[in-house]
Chains A and B, each alone.
Chain A
Amino acid sequence: MTATRNYGITGFGAYIPRLRMERAAIAAAHKWMAPSLRSLAKGQRAFGSWDEDSVTMAVEAARDALRGSQARSLNALHLASTTVPFDDMQNSAIVASALNAPPEVATLDIGSSQRAATSGLLAALASGRGHQLFVASDRPRGKPASVQEIGYGAGAAALTLGAEGVIAEVLGSASRSALFVDHFRSADADYDYVWEERWIRDEGYMKIVPATARAALSDAGVSPAEVKHFVMPSPLKGMASALARKLELPDGCEADDLNEDCGFTGSAHPLLMLAGVLEKAAPGEVILLVGFGQGCDSLVLRTTPALKDFAPLRGLSGSRADAQAHDAYLRMLSYDGGIDLEWGMRAEKAVKTALTEQYRSADQLANFTAGKCGCCGTIQFPQLPYCVNPACAAPREQFAQLSLADEPAKVLTHTADWLSYHPSPPLYVGFVQFDNGARLLMETVDVGAAGLEVGTPLRMVFRVKDIDKVRGYPRYFWKATPVQA
C-alpha cells in the first residue's frame, strides 16, 4: 500500500516518565530467586508514577508535538496502546478533551498488538484526513522477577499528520499478517506470557521482518544502501543489528533503542524511536520504520527540508534528560499494582465520581480552563457564577476562556503531607501561582530530592487525580510538577 505522496508527518513529540528505576535495584530485589537478572542490571528503566497511565502519557506526548498550542484544528486523533485504562470507554476521547480538541474531531483507539502504532499510522496516513494527531502510548507490564520487568519501560510518542509542512514523507510501505505468537496477554491477564527468546528471534523477527521490509523498500523504490535510519523496535537485545545485517543496510544505521534509560515501551516503541530519529535527522534522509507483532509493518520515510523548521517542545532528548533516579524497587511495584501495601483506613475514602458532574464541568476541568473576567480582568479557577474579585463580582457569562495548562507558574505555599492517604507519600500540596495571576490549590508531583521552595518554577501535567478502586474508574485532572527534576 502506498500512501498519498503529499500527505505525511508534519510534527512529532515524545514523553518518557521522569521516574527511572535503577535496574540494579530490581535485580537486587530478586537476587534470592533469580540471580541471573544480574546480567540485565545495567542502566535504568522508565516507570510511570501511580498517577500516570497510557492516557496521561499520550496527552504529554501530544502536547510536546503540538508545542503547547491548542489542538483546535485537529480533524482526527488516534491513540494506539495495549495498556489503555478502559476496555469500553474511549481512551482517545479523554486525550481529545484534555487537549481541547474540537468537538468535530474523529477519535479512535487502536490496540491489541505491539504493531498497533505502525498499523494505525498506515491507516491514518492512507485516510489523508486533514490535520491528524497520532499518538502511541504504552506501559507494558512485566511480572516481578521476569526479564520483561527489568527490560520494559513506559513512554509515548505523538505525530501530527497533514498535507502542509510535511517534515517526513512516506515513500512506501508494506504489511503482512502472521499468527506468530511470541507472547500474548489474554483479556483478563495482568502480564504477558512469553515464549522462548531463541525461537522468537529465529522464526519470528529474522523471517517476518526481512520479507516485509524488502517489500516496503521495493514499494518506495529505495535500495537498502540508501537507508540512513533503521527504526527496529524489539525487546530482544541485538535484534536490530542482526536484521540490519540480513537486510544489508548500512553499518550503524540502527536507531537508538532507548534501552539505556527507558526500556521497551511496547506498542509505543516504534514511534518513540522514530521521534528520536527525527529530532536528530537532516533533511533528505531515508528512515525504515518497522512494527512487529502477529506480522509486521514497514514504512519507508524520507525527511524533507521542512524538518529544519520543526522542533518539539522538549522532544525525546528533553524527556530523557528530565530524569529522577530511584532505587526503591517496591515503589515501582506498588505504583504498578504489583503489590498491595497497607495504606491504612484513610485509603478507604470513597472516591466515586459523579459522572453527571464530570460531564457538566468538563469545560473547566478537561483542559484546565480558567475564566478571565471581562470587567476587572481577574483570571480565576474554578469558574463560579460570579467573579471572585470582591470589588467586581460580575457574572460569569462575560468571562473569556483560557487554559492554564501551558501557563508558567511558581510555588506560592507548600507542604509535604504525611497524614493524608496518597499512593506516593508525602502528598505535596500547596498554592500554585500562575504568572498571569490565576492561582489555585494543587497537588505537585514527581518532586525530587531538592523539594519545593516558595518560588520554585512549575509546569502543568495531565494526571490521574484519583482512582476509584471499587468501580475501577480513574478520574483525571491537572497537577503541577517542578520544571527541574
Chain B
Amino acid sequence: MATGIKDKVAIIGMGCSRFGERWDVGTPALLAEAFEEALADSGIERKQIGAAWYGSCMDAVNVGNSAIPASMALRLDGIPVSRVENMCATGTEALRGAAYAVASGAVDFALAVGAEKLKDTGYGGLPPPFKGTFNDLWMPLGSAPAGFAQLAAGYRAKYGVSREDLKRALAHVSWKSHENGVLSPKAHLRKKVSMEQILNAPMIADPLGLFDCCGVSDGAAAAIVTTPEIARALGRRDMVTIKAIQLAIGSGVESATTQWDGSHVRTTRTAAGRAYAEAGITNPREQLSLMEVHDCFSITELVTMEDLGVSADGRAVHDVLDGFYDRQGHGVPCQVDGGLKCFGHPIGASGLRMAYEIYNQLQGRAGERQLDNPSYGLTHNLGGVPYLGIAAISILGLHA
C-alpha cells in the first residue's frame, strides 16, 4: 500500500541565482550560482551527493540534450545524473526525482537543479516549440499567451463576467506581483507599476496585455534533499519537509472531448486533490500560509485560485480584487517573491524557485518579504497549456 511522500524527505539546502537578463553568464555559471548557495546552505560536501536531477526545457537556447552539461558544469563526477523535461513544470519534476531517490533509500543526498537561458533567443517571449512531426501537420502554432488567454473567454462565458471586470482583476494580479517583486533582490523585474499602466499596455493575446505576461528570464535554482533522520543528525532545526508532490498530465480529455468548458485547468484540480490528500490538508484556504503558483499569465493565476480550491468557483475575481492574495491582505499571500511575473521564468528553474521562496519563508529567512509564522506553503508549476498540460504541485511545511 502506497504511503506517499509526506515527511519522508527534508530539504536541507536551497539556492537560486539572480534571475533576469543575464547577459553576463551562460548556463554553467547560472547552475553554479544556484548550486553553491544550496551546497553552502546544506552543510554537506559535493562528494556526498549520491544522485542528481537536472531540469531544462528549451534545447535550442540552452546547453543541449542530456544531463552531461549539468554534470560537467557542477563536476558531479560519476554519480547518476538524469535530465528531466516536462515543459514549464520541469523544475518541480527535478525536485520530484531527487525526493523519490531519497525516499526510496537509494541515496542519502540528492540534488535537484534546473536552469534555462532564454535570453539567448534574440527576442522577447518564448521560442515557438516543435510539436512533433504529426501535431505540426494540424495543430495551430499559437504562442503561450494565446494558449492561456483562451481561459479568459471560457471563464467569462461560464460566469458571465464582463470583459472590463475580468481585465481589472487580472490587472490586480499583476499589480500585486510587481509590489512584491520590488522586495525580491534576485528578481528579474523590480519595479512598481500602476493599474493604469497595466490596463493600457499593448495587447499580446487578447485579452492579455504586456503586463499580464510573466518575465522571460535566465536563471537557475537548486535543492539538496535528504531524509529527516539524516537532517536531524546534521543538526538541522526548523526543518522543512516535503508534505506532497503530485503531477497530473493531460491525456486529451480537455482538448478532444466535451468534458471541459474552457474555464479552468483540469490537471491542476486533479493534482491539487491528490496533493492535499497526501499532505493531509482539508481546508487549503485556512491551512495554507502562502502559495507560489504558476502565474505565467495573470489569467492563469486567477483560475488557479479556484483550481486549488482556495477561492470558490466563480469567486476568484472577487477574492483578487478584495486583496485576499496580496502580501499583506490577511488571506493567503500569493507570489510573495514576485512570482513568475516579476521574479522571472527561466523554465527549468521555476518550480525550484517557487520551492526556494517557500523554504525561506518557512525558515524565517525571507527578509523584507517575511510573513508571520508560515507553516504550509504550496508550489504550483504548470507546463504546456491549460488544455494539454502538466500540473505539478508540491506542499512544503515545517517538520513536526
Which residues of A line the B interface, CB within 8 A? 344-346, 349-351, 353-354, 356-358, 361, 365, 378, 380-382, 384, 388-390, 411-421, 426-427, 429-431, 433, 437-443, 454-455, 465-466, 475, 477-478
Contact = CB atoms under 8 A, between A and B. Distances in A.
A33 B258 CA distance: 57
B142 interface: yes
Nearest to B139: A441
Contact of B256 (A350, A388, A477, A478): A388
B253 A430 contact: no
B48 interface: no
A394 to B, nearest CB: 14
B217 interface: no
A138 B21 CA distance: 50
Contacts of B322: none
B25 interface: no
A454 B133 contact: no
A349 B252 CA distance: 26
Contacts of A439: 255-258
B205 interface: yes
Interface of B: 121-123, 125, 127-128, 130, 133-134, 136-146, 149-154, 156-157, 202-208, 251-253, 255-258, 262, 387
Contacts of B133: 354, 356-357
Contacts of B143: 417, 419-420, 427
Given A380-B257, A430-B153, A477 B137 contact: yes
A443 B140 contact: yes
Contact of B204 (A345, A346, A419): A419
Contacts of A415: 142, 145-146, 149-150, 152-153, 205-208
B251 A388 contact: yes
Given A413-B262, A415-B206, A351 B136 contact: yes
A384 B140 CA distance: 18
Given A417-B149, A429-B146, A439-B257, A358 B140 contact: no
A418 B203 contact: yes
Contacts of A441: 139-140, 142, 255, 387
Contacts of B208: 415
Contacts of B156: 454
B123 A346 contact: yes
Contacts of B153: 411, 413-415, 430, 454
Contacts of A466: 136, 141
B368 to A, nearest CB: 34
A402 B140 CA distance: 22
A440 B133 CA distance: 18
A345 B151 CA distance: 27
- Specify which of B140, B150, B151 lies most central, judged by the most chain A CB atoms within 10 Å of its CB: B140
A101 B157 CA distance: 40
B146 A419 contact: yes
11 contacts: A346-B127, A349-B127, A349-B128, A389-B253, A413-B150, A417-B142, A421-B128, A429-B142, A443-B140, A454-B154, A454-B156
B204 A412 contact: no
Contacts of A430: 150, 153
Contacts of A433: 258
Nearest to A384: B252
Contacts of A412: 154, 262
Nearest to A362: B137
B150 A431 contact: yes
Contacts of B251: 388, 390
Contacts of A442: 140
B142 A477 contact: no
Contacts of A427: 140-143, 146
B256 A420 contact: no
A376 to B, nearest CB: 10
Contacts of A358: 137
B150 A357 contact: no
Contacts of A357: 133-134, 137
A382 B132 CA distance: 14
A411 B156 CA distance: 14
A109 B206 CA distance: 43
B47 to A, nearest CB: 43
- Specify which of A412, A419, A455 lies most central, judged by the most chain B CB atoms within 10 Å of its CB: A419
Contacts of B122: 345
Given A415-B153, A454-B153, A440 B203 contact: no
Contact of A345 (B121, B157, B207, B387): B121
The 5 closest A-B pairs by CB, nearest first: A417-B146, A413-B150, A415-B149, A419-B143, A354-B133
A244 B373 CA distance: 95
Given A344-B123, A415-B152, 15 more contacts: A365-B137, A380-B257, A388-B256, A411-B153, A413-B154, A413-B262, A414-B150, A417-B142, A417-B145, A419-B144, A420-B143, A426-B206, A427-B142, A437-B258, A478-B138
B121 A454 contact: no
B140 A361 contact: no
B205 A419 contact: yes
B151 to A, nearest CB: 8
Nearest to A370: B256
A282 B157 CA distance: 49
B205 A416 contact: yes
Contacts of A351: 136
- Specify which of A346, A411, A475 lies most central, judged by the most chain B CB atoms within 10 Å of its CB: A346
B399 to A, nearest CB: 37
- Specify which of B138, B149, B203, B251 lies most central, judged by the most chain A CB atoms within 10 Å of its CB: B138
Contacts of B151: 413
B153 to A, nearest CB: 5
A450 to B, nearest CB: 14
